[in-house]
Amino acid sequence: MAGQSKKPAAADRRARIAEQQAAERARERRNKILMGVGAAVVAAGVIGGVVVAVSSNDKTASANPSATGNAHWAVPSNTDAAVKAAGLSMLTAEGTTMHIHAHLDVWADGQKITVPGLVGINETAQTISPLHTHDTSGVIHIESPKVQDFTLGQFTTEWNVPLSADQIGALKTDATHTLKVYVNGKQTTGDPSKLVLHAHDEIAIVYGTASEDASIQVPSSYTWPSGL
């Protein structure tokens, strides 16, 4: 059972968190390099004889910015402020009274978005929110000193990705783009930020056009590792 899983030693947990954050920083550095290359290509104006009209950072290109390269998918720089905005408090250790897990998948513009590790974790201060991620698997950990409801909106707030019935991050619905949210393979209605996270929920957020959404197979479950 999830509530009976053994906690790793504090030193092991610190080492694991440090390793995960180093990997996340490396990924962000690679993204910045790639974005810089893209901007240089746009300045040139032509790729293989094809004229490039706009860069990914051109705000006049579309009312809905592309999901590719958007900084709002990264871990926020101020974890404590993001956790506070979610109505939660940082803990000096993971809570044990409530210990469950949910899984989150996100697609935007037909592309799979990585749910980052270390959401809700302040490695420098060695503090942690009761609602957090350890890695990029999409597993949301709820480890709280008391039993209470935790919502999808609280998690996305910690991630600094606004969520409502018509918006995820900087992406908003319009005449051609929709936002759909599924729980265990079934589409929900209403404000997705109010969804309460339950043990082993598989949650999928899908933003895009009809043709983009058609290429996505929404999962109805997640294969949980032993101990979760």
Q: What residues does each domain of the chain span? A: 2-214
Q: How many degrees, rounded to 5, is the angle at CA 129 between CA 127 and CA 103?
A: 130
Q: What percent of the chain has pLDDT over 70?
A: 68
Q: Is the pLDDT of residue 187 over 70?
A: yes
Q: How far is CA 101 from CA 77, 106, 142, in A?
A: 24, 17, 6
Q: How far apart are CA 90 and CA 209, in angstroms?
A: 38
Task: Calculate the CA 77 to chain-centre distance.
Answer: 14
- Residue 74, pLDDT score: 93
Residue 149 has pLDDT above 70, yes or no: yes
Least reliable range by pLDDT among 8-12, 122-126, 206-210? 8-12
Alpha-carbon distances, residue 48 vs 68, 164, 174 (angstroms)? 22, 41, 33
**HSE-up (13 A, CA, CB side) for residue 100:** 16
Span 23-45, mean pLDDT? 41
pLDDT, averaged across the chain: 80
Percent share of the chain, pLDDT over 90: 68
> pLDDT tier at 68 (50, 70, 90 boundaries)?
low
How far CA 9 is from CA of 14, 18, 140, 203, in Å, comes to 9, 14, 20, 30
Q: Out of 3.30.70.920, 2.170.130.30, 3.40.1160.10, 3.30.70.980, which CATH number does the structure's domain 2-214 have?
A: 2.170.130.30
pLDDT band at 46 (very low <50, low <70, confident <90, very high): very low
Task: pLDDT band for 37, please (50, 70, 90 cuts).
Answer: very low
- More confident call, 61 vs 103: 103
Per-residue confidence (pLDDT) for residue 125, from 0 to 100:
97
pTM: 0.71
In terms of average pLDDT, the best of 7-11, 36-40, 137-141 is: 137-141
Distance CA 4, CA 24 (A): 29
Rounded to whole angstroms, how far apart are CA atoms 128 and 167? 27
